[in-house]
Structure formats: C-alpha cells, structure tokens
Amino acid sequence: MVLVALLMCSVCFAETLPLSWTNPGTKTDGTALTEAEKAVAVTAVEFKGPSDTVWTVADQVPFPGNTYTWTIPDTFVPGDEVSIRVRTIVGQLISEYSYRLVYTIPVVLPSPPAELRKVD
C-alpha cells in the first residue's frame, strides 16, 4: 500500500521554480543595445533533465523581462537533477548561454501511519 502511494505521488508531482537573471545592456564589442534591438529582444529559457540529450526551450521572455516562473514538467520525479540555462536573442544575434543552474527536485516523503493498534 505504501509503495503504491509513493508511486502515485511521483506521477502527480507538480512544482514551479521562479527564475531571474540580469539582462545585457551591451553587445560583446561594448556598444549599447539600441531601443530597436531591445524591442525585439527575448531571453530563451531552456532546460534538460538527467537523461535528456538535447535542451528544450521552456519559453521566451520579451525584454525587459528578467523573471520567469517555470512549471516543472511532470516527466521529472523527486530526486531528478534538472539543468536550466538562458540566453539572449536579438533578431539574428544570439548570446552565449548563461551558466547552467542545476536544481534537484525535492524528495518529500509521506507522513508515517498513525494510530497503530492491535485488532481483535
């Protein structure tokens, strides 16, 4: 019975992860992003699970946005390590990726049974 409950909990797992970053104000040559470039700029939020071989785009956040609340897909289970990264896209110009953030899905154990007693 406990095993069934644990398996069911891993299937119904749902969690969100708030993310934030600092948007670039310049290009790699030091010149400022123009207002026209900022108007089309987005930050791509990507993730990859422990057995994934490719990164998946979760969303693209338009400038000047620098926060995103990611709903972790239910394909991940407690204990999985998920990698997250972002990069800025301005038309055909694409930045390098940010450093990778590694997040471990929390393992939340069920409460223990209560009121154990002998049945006559």
We report the CATH number of the domain holding residue 95 as 2.60.40.10
Q: Report the amino acid identity of residue 3.
A: L
On whether residue 8 sits in a domain, the answer given is: no
Tell which residue, 82, 107, 91, has the closest CA to residue 13.
Answer: 107
Q: Does position 9 have pLDDT exceeding 90, yes or no?
A: no
CA–CA distance, 68 with 76 (Å, rounded to integer)? 19
What global pTM score does this model have? 0.77
On whether residue 86 sits in a domain, the answer given is: yes
What is the C-alpha end-to-end distance of the chain, expressed in Å? 22
Residues 19-39: what's their mean pLDDT?
A: 94
On whether residue 5 sits in a domain, the answer given is: no
Domain housing 93: 13-104
How many structural domains are present in the chain? 1
* pLDDT of the residue at 14: 60
Instruction: Give the pLDDT confidence of 47-100 residue by residue, as tens digits.
Output: 999 999 999 999 999 999 999 999 999 889 889 999 999 999 999 999 999 999
